[in-house]
Amino acid sequence: MKRFLLPLIFLATTTATAVVHAAGNAADPAKGKAVAAGICAACHMPDGNSVIPMNPKLAGQHADYIVKQLKDFKSGARANPIMMGMAAAVSDDDARHVAAWFASQTQKSEKERSADSIEAGKKIYRAGVAAKGIPACAACHGPAGAGIPAQYPRIGGQFPDYTETQLKSFRLAGTDPKDTTGRANDPNKMMRMVAAKMSDYEIKVVSDYVASLR
């Protein structure tokens, strides 16, 4: 197990530091609130607590992670027709402001999943699947899903539908790099390599467990 955990933690820490410096410190949550109200609220709600399972909750998410995703949508590194269009209207300064606003908000808890699904997902999340070379999710996202800024997001309490969709998208990009509909904006292909080894069942139960984290 340790052979999985230590390299991932080191990678997360060093990558996060680089992005923090890149993003800078000029962020104003008050300005971000105005940006969120005008651009983001329709899908993610004014405080980032989306009520639509396929639109992720942004409340409490790491600011630098949000900035990176907006930049990736704008550049096309992360393909999503809706978000690519929305991100195109957000300046670099506004991206930092709105990220700071969402990061300052408190995420609302997600509904509990079935006990069986949560227990199965818990085992994979905490210990991985050694036989398949799947590392513990907790290595990068933490035992409570809080993540490690900036490349390893907070995932605890996220909609299971959204988490499941993202894992399958990473898996698609990892198994069929020519398919441009898959998600390929993870640093060092980490999530693509992990998700490529996961079955539909493993993805589902992990997503259910992640939703239960507080």
Q: Considering the chain, tell me which residue range(s) the CATH 1.10.760.10 domain(s) occupy.
A: 2-11+110-212, 23-103
Question: Residue 13, Cα to own-chain centre: how many angstroms?
Answer: 16
Architecture of domain 2-11+110-212: Orthogonal Bundle (1.10)
- Residues 34-53: tens digit of each pLDDT: 999 999 999 999 999 999 99
- CATH T-level topology, domain 23-103: Cytochrome Bc1 Complex; Chain D, domain 2 (1.10.760)
Is the pLDDT at 21 greater than 50? The verdict is no
pLDDT tens for 50-64 read 999 999 999 999 999
How many CB atoms sit inside 10 A of residue 171's CB? 23
pLDDT at res. 25: 61
**Burial zone of 80 (CB within 10 Å; 0-12 exposed, 13-18 middle, 19+ buried):** middle
11 pLDDT band, cuts 50/70/90, is very low
CA dihedral over 92, 93, 96, 98, signed as positive or negative:
negative
Asked if 55 and 43 touch (Cβ cutoff 8 Å), the reply is yes
pTM of the shown model: 0.86
What does pLDDT average to over the chain?
90
What is the per-residue pLDDT across 176-213, written as a single tens digit (0 to 9) for each? 999 999 999 999 999 999 999 999 999 999 999 999 99
